[in-house]
Structures are given as structure tokens and as C-alpha cells.
Structure 1
Amino acid sequence: MRVAVLSLIEAAGPDPGALRGYLPIGGRSILRHQIGFALSLGCKRIVVMAEGISGELVALQHVVERGGAQFHVVATARALVPLLQPEDDVFVLGDGLLAMPDALRDLLEAGPVLLTLPVETALPLGFERIDINSAFAFAMRFPGRVAAALADLPPEWNAQSALLRLAIQARISQRGVPAALLDDGRWAIVRNEEDAHRAERRWLRLHTDVAGAGARAPGGAMAIAIVRRFGPAMLHAGTRPALVGLAAGLVGLLGGGMGWLGNFATGFVLLGIAWLIERVASLLGQVERDSLLASGLARRSVAAFHGLIDVGFVVVATWRSELPNGPGLAWGLSAFAPLLLVLAARLVPLALPGNRWAHFLQDRLLMGLFLALASVFLPFDAMVGLCVIAMIALCLFLLQTGADIGATRDPAKPPPNPQLTSRQ
């Protein structure tokens, strides 16, 4: 059985009532982050070293039990002995350790290991010295039989320090944590509220370092900036991604209502803003999933919501159209060009996946602003038709010539049309 041993002992600063494990990162305690990681490893028993039961520990017990694991709170190292069987696979995370789950998993999954850091770098950051050259990186993995000697130690010994000494005596192999993890904030000890605020900003930045051309489009970049600036406040206030997504839906309905009332430009802008709010909600949800604070399943409603936004653009553009309607004219004529516009905006990024400019067409905030301006200052139907022609013509040109305007293609890969781009 895999067992996780966590700690809730060390004080967070001069106040003995404030504990490191309770310091919040992204609206959740550090101990909650560690529990999420332990559950992701498949740990079936999670033991927290703490001096007493609190309301938050009871809430965390419910989280653990929903994850299919047992939850125990013990106060002394000796009380830990009956919970660690010789055949168990034991994971120990130190008090206040905040590490990116992927980095921590890569270092621990290889087998029994005691993770270390260089003394000169680690000691000023709060890590514990092991020997003249190494410091304990606050994470280790060892067989359960190593912990049997806890029964022979004095009861006042700190459990984490005792397990560390026993692992060293058992000659558990040591492995260094790359210094780059410390430099960019993927591995840190959070000792007080000041450390927590600093670590939280780095944590959110790392989780929103979204790759891909879509993230460089104005709307995507704005969503990332909003999450980095206001995400901590929203998460600390208990604003979950689903609530932000609900707000996006309400703004989208308001945009449709404004279009129905004849305020077309406002309707287009509100639809674009609804898309932006939904991107913020998706980013917050992705942050929680990557941090193992929520289910690994992405919200299935995202694709449906984007489809509804596109439907909203088509409907409002149809209402805005100045094409005549009446007997003898094709039904739905005024919706034809807006429908082609939305379909082309979806098709071109699929046809040109490595082209940065093509992914700008996925930015519905830009589309909403463009349609709003066209609705007020330009011949609306003509501009929509010209945009459709321009998108399809540019897509055909790039596909046929293999041109790399704005492309982010890997240079090691062959061009999309080698027979047209060969120099032989």
C-alpha cells in the first residue's frame, strides 16, 4: 500500500497558532496541495502529524475519503508506527513544501529516494541540513520497514526529522533536486505569510504559462493577465471557476438580448466579453486541475459554450444585416455571410495549425470588436463578405505555397507541401 506522511507542526512566523500547512496558496492550504498530490500518487492512507484536530483537518478528511483513501491524524512519532507496515511504500512531504506536481512526481516515482539540495543554496531558504554538502529537500520515499525503529525513539522527537535520520541510516539513495526548480519557484518552502504571497504569484504564473499561438492573441493574453492579476483574490474569496463560467453565460445572454433590442454593436462587444470571461474561467479551472485541487476532467461545457458564442454572433449579425427579406428571396440570405464568417474562423486554424496569425481567428473578443466597429462605421454586409473571402483566399495561398508567414512550425519537420517548396 502507498502511504503518505504529511506534517502540520511548524509555526508560520512568531504566532504559534498559525501553522505552515494552513498557509493559503490559490485559496487552498499548502496541506491541501500536498493531499492532492498524495491522492494522485495512489496513496490509500494519508497520515498527518498534528498536535490536535481542527475544523480544517475535518474538511480535509472528507477530501481524502472522497478520494478513496484513509485519513489519520497522529501527534507523536511512536503513534505513526502501527500505520506503516513493512511492505508499505511510504512518501514523506515536509511541512510547508510547495512543489509543482509534475516535478515532484518525476523525482519520486523512480523508486526509494531521499531528495537533496546543495547546502549553500538550501539553508537560507529554510531547508534542513543533512551533512556538510547536502540539505534535505523535504521529500522522500522509502519502504515501510524503515519506519519500524520509530518505536525506539523518545516520544518528543519530531517525526519528520526522525524519519529523515532513519532513511539516512537505511542508506536510501539520495538524488539532487535540479537548482532550476528553486530558481523559477517550482520547489519552495513556505514559512510565513510573506513567503506565501510571493510563492502564490510564482505558482499562478507557472500554471498560466500557456503555450501555443492562441495564448498570444490579444484576447488570450488578456485572459492570462486577468488571472495573474486578480486570480489570487478571486480564489481566496472562494470564487470557483464554475461561478466565473456562469457569469460568462449571463453576459452572453445579455449580449444576445441587446442585439434583439437593436443595440447590435453593444451585443457584439458583450458576446466577445462573454468569451473572454469564459477563458478566465477555463484558465482558473486548468490551474486547479494542474495543482491537483480539482478533478482532472476538463469542463465539458467549454466547447459547447464556444459554439453558443458563435451562434450568438451569427444571430446578431443576421439581425444587423441590411439585405432585403421578402417573397422571392432565398430564406436565410442575411444569415449566409455571418455563418460563413464563423465557419471560416473555425476552419482556418485547423488548416494552418502552426500559423500564429491563423490562431488570432479563434479570438472571439477580436471578432466581437471587429463586428461592432463594422456595424457602426462600415457597410456591414459587404465587410462580412470581404472578410470571408480574405480568410479563405489567404488560407489557400499559404497551403498551396507552403509560406510560413507567422508560422511556428518546428524547423526539424518537413514543410507541409515538400513538392512545392523543394529547391532541387
Structure 2
Amino acid sequence: MMEPAVAGQSIPRAFLRVGGATLAQHQLGMALALDCQRVICLARGPSPDLIALQHMAEDAGLQFYIATGSRPLSGLVTANDELVVIGEGLFAEPSGVVPLFEGRSPAVLVQPVEGALAAGFERVDINRASAGIMRIPGHLVENLHELPADCDVISALMRIALQSGVPMREVPAAARSGVDWRLIRDEGEAHAVEMEWLRGRFEGGDKVSPGRAVARYGVLNFGSSLLHAGNASNVLSAAVLGALAIAGGLVWFNFVAAGFLFLALASVLVEASRLLRSAERHALGQLPPAIPRADVLGWLVDTAFGLSLLAGIARLGGESLISWMFPPAMLMMLLVMIPRFVSGTAASLAADRATLGLVLAFAAGFGQVEPLAEVLAIVLVVIGMVLPLRRKN
């Protein structure tokens, strides 16, 4: 964490953000995937970002140290240690790195020199360049004492390892494809990688569901800016609550059609927050929680749909409460149940609350919310009876 992200500034490139997490956090996830027990950061000294990284490492059960150069590093590594060395600014998917170190044998990962030098990787020989990561025996760190104190520690360790007979291992082309293996040196490169990373994760998804397609389009075009700021899912979650509050206010004052439009917007924002939260968890190496936040927001949207349906259905004189509540309650329960039992286009459309909001807004404009709710409920029952059930693994 020595090189600045911008010339003349002190912020290291390690704290550039990709996918809502800093490069240092991505590398911490890589260290966890490689079963490391301690993390040593080469840095000029403590900083708020480095302290935050230390807390993350310690929360994950790792010991954390800061070394300001080759001398402090050699004092932290023993001859019996194995050292995984990750180059500054390296952005790589742990799923592509871990298989290359199976068997725990030492190796210096390399790649063809064509294109690697322009990408910022260091040349190893006439045909190969470094891939930015290696596993070496700990006793090799002692050789740093023979070099000047201000040497490039990572480069020096690579040369020492190769001269000591540590074998080179080429990274397969498939692992280096796309943005899965990049060296990020400045803000512009971080932003470009983030956009490509999002496209790789979210393009080509469900194209049948209009609401989810709109959410995916929004994430691909605007999600990078939110993730780059580090508050993407929180901003969208707050926007969902804001849209629900506006919808509730409109329905309260009997603007039911407009309320359904805002519920459609809220459902699109829920799907966008689901995608962005998934990207943030992936970047931080976090497993999904038992109950994702987007699911809770989705339940709130469904509840708001049910209450808005009741507001759009006039209760006749002498009509029982259960009779008045039956069409909205039955429709919302079927909308939740059908996608769990059937798959394909019907299930995608049944789960698409944005489409539901637009259809109900149109019906509310003509005072036909109750007939439409009844027809939709019948259609969903027929879908459940006719279509084949979803196969369970």
C-alpha cells in the first residue's frame, strides 16, 4: 500500500473502490480464501482506511500487522511460515486464484508478457510477466536484509523466489479473461473495471420480467457511480422506503392510481437494491444473510400493494369484512405462492410487481380495481393447475 492512486496525493491505490469495496478489502477476501492466518500490510503508516481494514481482518479471525518496509517485514515472518504475496493494486477473483495454489506448493504466478506490461505487471523474463501474486517459503524473506531498506519489497521477493528455485506457474487464459485479473493503478481504471465487473455479473438475466429488466438496466448504467461512492444498497433501500411513503400518502388521499405507480417504482428499486447488495457482498467476500434486506423490502411492497388494493375497492353497505378483504388477500397470496411452484414466463411475470403496479394503476383510473384483482386471481389459479410444477433438487 505504498503507491498513491493520484500523483501528488497520499491516498494509496489500495483504497480505490471496485464494487463497493476497496482493493484492499478485495485482497483481504483473497487472503481468507487462501486460508491465511495473518495479514501483513506494507504501508507507510496507519490511516483511517487501514484501521478499518484491520477491524475487518480481526472480525474475520485474522491477525493484522503493518510493516513499513523490508526490515519490519522480515521481523514478522519466520522460516517456518508460508508467505502469500499479493501485489499492490491487484484485483482478482478468489475463485480463479485458489485452484492455482492447490497442494500448498510454492509458486510464482506468471502470464504471457504480451499486454501484461502495458497493464502494469512487471516483466519476469523475455516471454513472461508477473501475475501479481505468489506463494513462497518464509525463510526467503531473510534475504531482504541484503538489499537497501527502501527497495521494492514485492519485486525483490519475486526475484529472490525465482533465484531460489521457486517454480513459475502460468495463470490460465480463462482466469485472466474480462476483469477477473487486473492491476488497477488509478481512479479511472477502477471505475472502468467496476463497470465491466457489473456487466459481467448482471447482463443476460431475466428478460421476460419487465420490472427486473428495468432494474438491471438501471444498475448497469448507474450502479457503478453508487458503488464507487460506497453506499449503493443503502441509498436504494432508503429510496424504496421513500417511494412507499409517497405511495401511502397518495392512497390515503384517494389518489390510488398514482399510488400504484409509486409502488411499481418501489418494486423496481427493490430489485436494483438486491442486485447491488449482491455485488457488495461478493466484493467483501460475505455470504448472503438468512433473510436478505431486499426480501424484507419486498414484503413491505407486497403489504403496501394489499392495502392499496383495499383502498381501491369500495366496501358495500352490509358487506362483511372478510368478503371485502378476500379479493386483495387472495391475489397477493397467489402472487407469492405461484412463483414457488412453477417456472418460466408465467412465474417471472407473476413475481414482477412493477408490471402489477402498472396494470393496477390503469384499472384504478377506470375504477375497476376489484374486477381486475378477481380476474388476476383466477388466472394465477389456472396457471398453478395447468403448468408443470418446478423441479426440486
TM-score normalised by the chain length of structure 1: 0.82
Give, in whole Å, the separation in 2 of the partners of 1:356 and 1:170.
Answer: 60
Residues 387, 271 of structure 1: CA spacing in aligned structure 2 closer, same or farther, 3 A cutoff? same
Q: Which amino acid aligns with 1:217?
A: S
Matched, 1:356 2:348: no
Structure 1 110/184 Cα, relative in aligned 2: closer, same or farther at 3 Å?
Answer: farther
Which whole-Å CA distance do the structure 2 matches of 1:155 and 1:110 have between them? 33
Q: Does 1:279 align with 2:271?
A: yes
Aligned residues: 390
- Rounded to whole Å, the distance in 2 between the matches of 1:335 and 1:365 is 22
Cα offset, 1:368, TM superposition: 0.9
Structure number with greater CO (CA < 8 Å, separation at least 6) is: 2
In 1, the alpha carbon distance for the partners of 2:289 and 2:97 equals: 21
C-alpha separation between the residues in 1 aligned to 2:257 and 2:68?
Answer: 64
Judged with a 3 Å threshold, the aligned counterparts in structure 2 of structure 1 residues 291 and 63 are, in CA distance, closer, same or farther, namely same
**CA root-mean-square deviation:** 2.7
How far is 1:287 from its partner?
Answer: 0.9
Q: Secondary structure of the equivalent of 2:40?
A: strand
Confirm whether residue 372 of structure 1 aligns to residue 361 of structure 2.
yes
The equivalent residue for 2:38 is 45
Residues 184/9 of structure 1: CA separation in 2 closer, same or farther (3 Å cut): same
2:58 corresponds to 1:97: no
Contact preservation (8 Å) 2:21, 2:280:
no
In the TM superposition, what are the counterparts of 1:235-250 in structure 2 within 5 Å? Answer: 235-250=227-242
**d(CA) in 2 for partners of 1:23 and 1:394?**
49
1:83 partner letter: L
Instruction: Say if 1:37 and 1:292, in contact at 8 Å, map to a contact too.
Output: no
Q: Greater shift after overlay, 134-143 or 38-47?
A: 38-47
CA offsets 1:294-319 (integer angstroms, 9 cap, x no match): 66536544333322322221221122
* Equivalent residue for 2:331, pick from 341, 353, 367: 341
Name structure 1 gaps, 5 residues minimum: 1-7, 401-408, 410-415, 417-424
Mapping for residues 165-180 of structure 1, pairs under 5 Å? 165-180=159-174
Query: Cα offset for 1:172?
Result: 3.1
Q: What SS class does the counterpart of residue 116 from structure 2 fall into? A: helix
1:48-63 aligned within 5 A:
48-63=41-56
Distance 1:93 1:216 in 2: 42
Match of 2:376 among 379, 387, 402: 387
Query: Is there any run of 5+ residues in structure 2 with no aligned partner, and where?
Result: none
Give deviations 1:361-395, integer Å, cap 9, x for gaps: 11111111111111113632222212222222233
The alpha-carbon deviation at position 94 of structure 1 amounts to: 0.6
Q: Which letter does structure 2 place at the counterpart of 1:286?
A: S
- Inter-partner Cα distance in structure 2 for 1:21 and 1:279: 31
1:115 and 1:177 in contact (8 A); partners too = yes
Alpha-carbon distance change, 296 to 80 in structure 1, aligned in 2, over 3 angstroms: farther
Contact 1:46–1:69 (8 Å) recurs in 2: yes
Is 2:179 aligned against 1:190? no
The aligned counterpart of 2:221 is 229
Cα deviation, 1:317-345, whole Å, max 9, x if unaligned, reads 1221146241xx44321221222222222
Deviates more, 1:123-132 or 1:298-307: 298-307
Q: 2:252 & 2:5 partners in 1: Cα distance?
A: 56
Query: Quick check: 1:254 aligned with 2:250?
Result: no
* Preserved CA contact (<8 Å) 2:244 2:266: yes
SS of the residue 1:157 aligns to = coil
CA distance in 2, matches of 1:379, 1:13: 60
Whether contact under 8 Å (2:90, 2:181) holds in the other structure is yes
The one-letter amino acid of 1:229's match is: N
3-state SS of 1:148 partner: helix
Q: Name which of 28, 31, 36 aligns with 2:24.
A: 31
- Identify the residue that residue 385 of structure 2 maps to in structure 1: 396
Deviation track 1:240-273 (CA, whole Å, cap 9, x = no partner) reads 5234313312322332232232111122122222
Aligned equivalent of 1:140, options 116, 127, 134: 134
Q: Aligned partners of 2:298 and 2:275: how far apart in 1?
A: 15
Cα pair distance change 1:216/1:43, threshold 3 Å:
farther
- Cα shift readout 1:367-424 (whole Å, capped 9, x = no counterpart): 1111111111363222221222222223322229xxxxxxxx9xxxxxx7xxxxxxxx
- Once the 2 structures are TM-superposed, how far is the Cα of residue 147 of structure 1 from its aligned partner? 2.7
Partner residue in 2 for 1:75: 68
Counterpart residue identity of residue 335, structure 1: M
Say whether the 8 Å CA contact 1:289–1:295 is kept in structure 2.
yes
* Aligned partners of 2:33 and 2:94 also within 8 Å: no
Whether the 8 Å contact between 2:67 and 2:73 is mirrored in structure 1 is yes
- Percent of aligned positions that are identical: 32
The alignment partner of 2:74 has SS state of helix
Preserved CA contact (<8 Å) 2:25 2:284: no
- Which whole-Å CA distance do the structure 1 matches of 2:293 and 2:189 have between them? 36
Q: What's the TM-score once normalised by structure 2's chain length?
A: 0.88
Query: Does the 8 Å contact 2:18/2:194 carry over to 1?
Result: yes
Residues 22 and 316 of structure 1, relative CA distance in 2, 3 Å threshold: closer
